[in-house]
Amino acid sequence: MKLVAGIDSSTQSCKVLVCDAETGDIIRSGSAVHPDGTEVDPEHWWVALKQAIEAAGGIDDVEAISVGGQQHGMVLLDADGEVVRPALLWNDTRSAQAAKDLTEELEYKNLRGEQAWLDAVGSVPVASYTVTKLRWMADHEPQNLARAVACCLPHDWLSQKLRGETDVSKITTDRSDASGTGYYSSTLGVYLPEILELATRGHSLLLPEVMEPLELRDKVAAGMGDNAAAAVGLGAEVGDVIVSVGTSGVVSAVSTEGVNVNPVISGFADGSGEYLPLACTLNGAMIFDRYAKLFGISLSELGSLALSAAPASDGLVTIPFFAGERTPNLPEATARIVGMTNENFTRENLARSAFEGLLCGLADAIDAVVDEAPNKVLLIGGASKNEALRQIAAQVFGCDVEVPEVGEYVALGAARQAAGALLGELPNWNRSIEQIIVADSKPEVRANYSKARDAYLKELI
């Protein structure tokens, strides 16, 4: 038996899966926590990884290993390979103004603003992207930026540590994670130095070499960003749409097309040589927490209450912009309940409207990511355990909803990539399906939501 290991180094924790390279069977596993915060000393990730490896029984018998990591984080290194300052993570929003400034400043092929960014790298920068953090450094910590000779991402840094390498010129990454920096073109397969120079106000930095998806160096594969790793772990194929409902909502689709003309989409690459256009909604399962707390019931009871109401909630609509919104881009928006009457203002309709509002927002994101209605949606994330979410998703999306068994898909995707690098091609690992909900389209749900949403958007303009 050939063994491989996959690592999920997320914002909250580190998980390690040791798997059979050919079958994907999980042989053993381990985990360790990361500290809270939006900036973290990368040494904490290394300590957690070593703890997780120890909990998993070690990796001495492992023939290949790969790291799936949180995207966008900025790790600056000096000439000796030492970390210059704590890494700024994807959820650090101090660079929000830098994102706006960079969006306005870029000129590329006679284009300006959002269109210049879409043409250059396939995404319009937001505060999470590495490029905006570099601009923040240039303006607020120029002394630290001046010390830096290299910039890499969290998964790049861990891969370097696993190899025991200290030479900053030998850091590697992969195209999926590089495509989230804001200065790498996944369609051209190259970094764009003019964008890096714009971000740093002229400071030069070494950037990681982009490895091939199934390349292996010193037992360590290229690794991936977390969303790409999850897609590989799920075995997602071209045309599949993945909807993840956690604290936020994430919609992604494996695609052969890398060109993106929609500013709400992140035009990422995937971990297998294709592309992974992605859209985020800021509002996810927290909506259910709010409604359940309001009613004084559990999340399971909220789901049962929702399923006891008819589709479209008798005209009651929740516009779920509790945290503002990113798809569409409305950071200052607030939530609304629309269409209340004496007859429809019931606990059942309110509960159902919470599920329908969240899923209609995700359906808008699906429309942005894919040109045609998908044949199926892979529904994952913590909220996917709720039966109401599953059933109502099939009605709102109008397609079959496949719910994979709950699993560590980022770590599993990393392990599968390691197996592919070891065996020469990605193995076909069986993925267990917990439930398939057959399409039961209820177009009136989205029609009611769209009418209420559009009226609200007119007020905001």
In a domain, 224, yes or no: yes
Closest by Cα among 119, 106, 373, 367 to 261: 119
Residue 328, preceding peptide bond in cis (omega within 30° of 0): yes
In a domain, 57, yes or no: yes
Q: What is the pLDDT of residue 331?
A: 77
Q: Are residues 447 and 325 in the same domain?
A: yes
Q: Are residues 221 and 288 in the same domain?
A: no
| pTM confidence score | 0.90
Q: Are residues 20 and 137 in the same domain?
A: yes
Domain end: 198, 213, 234, which one? 234
Q: List Cβ neighbours of 33 (8 Å cut-off, separation of 6 or more).
A: 12, 13, 14, 48
How far is residue 376's CA from residue 397's CA, in Å, rounded to a whole number? 9
Q: Are residues 220 and 277 in the same domain?
A: no
Q: Exposed/middle/buried for 261, CB within 10 Å: 0-12, 13-18, 19+?
A: exposed
Phi, psi of 36 (to 5 degrees): -75, 165
Owner of token pair 């594969």: 221
Helices (H) and strands (E) in the chain, counts: 15, 26
How far is residue 2's CA from residue 415's CA, in Å, rounded to a whole number? 12
Q: Are residues 206 and 223 in the same domain?
A: yes
3-state class of 85 per DSSP? coil
Q: Are residues 87 and 198 in the same domain?
A: yes
In a domain, 409, yes or no: no
How far is residue 76's CA from residue 87's CA, in Å, rounded to a whole number? 7
Q: Are residues 211 and 249 in the same domain?
A: no
Q: Are residues 249 and 387 in the same domain?
A: yes
Count of the separate structural domains present in the chain:
2
How far is residue 455's CA from residue 453's CA, in Å, rounded to a whole number? 5
In a domain, 186, yes or no: yes
* Residue 287 token pair: 């909506």
41 is catalytic: no
Closest by Cα among 285, 303, 295, 207 to 249: 285
Active site residue: 174, 177, 226, 240, which one? 226
Q: Are residues 318 and 340 in the same domain?
A: yes
Q: What is the pLDDT of residue 157?
A: 98
In a domain, 309, yes or no: yes
Q: What is the pLDDT of residue 163?
A: 97
Q: Mark residue 332 as left, alpha or beta (left: phi above 0; alpha: psi -120 to 50; beta: remaining).
A: alpha
pLDDT by position in tens, the chain (length 461): 999 999 999 999 999 999 999 999 999 999 999 999 999 999 999 999 999 999 999 999 999 999 999 999 999 999 999 999 999 999 898 999 999 999 999 999 999 999 999 999 999 999 999 999 999 999 999 999 999 999 999 999 999 999 999 999 999 999 999 999 999 999 999 999 999 999 999 999 999 999 999 999 999 999 999 999 999 999 998 889 999 998 889 999 999 988 888 888 999 999 999 999 999 888 899 999 999 999 999 999 999 999 999 999 999 999 999 988 888 878 788 999 999 999 999 999 999 999 999 999 999 999 999 988 888 999 998 899 999 999 999 999 999 999 999 889 999 999 999 999 999 999 999 888 999 999 999 999 999 999 999 999 988 87
CATH code (residue 108): 3.30.420.40
In a domain, 266, yes or no: yes
Domain end: 211, 234, 257, which one? 234
Task: Decide: 278 and 271 in contact? Cβ < 8 Å.
Answer: no
Give me the sign of the Cα torsion angle 202, 204, 205, 206: positive
Q: What is the pLDDT of residue 246?
A: 87
Residues facing residue 18 across a β-bridge: 5, 28
Domain extent, residue 303, equals 235-399+439-461
* Residue 114 token pair: 């959002």
In a domain, 408, yes or no: no
3-state class of 118 per DSSP? helix
Write the DSSP string, 123-154: S---TTSHHHHHHHHHHH-HHHHHH--EEE-H
| CA distances to 16, 70, 109, 333, 363 from 225, in Å | 15, 6, 29, 29, 24
Q: Are residues 211 and 243 in the same domain?
A: no
Q: Are residues 214 and 243 in the same domain?
A: no
Q: List Cβ neighbours of 62 (8 Å cut-off, separation of 6 or more).
A: 3, 4, 5, 18, 219
Q: Are residues 208 and 240 in the same domain?
A: no
Proportion of the chain in helix, strand, coil states, percent, rounded to 5 = 40, 25, 35
In a domain, 313, yes or no: yes
Q: What is the pLDDT of residue 3?
A: 98
Domain end: 186, 208, 234, which one? 234
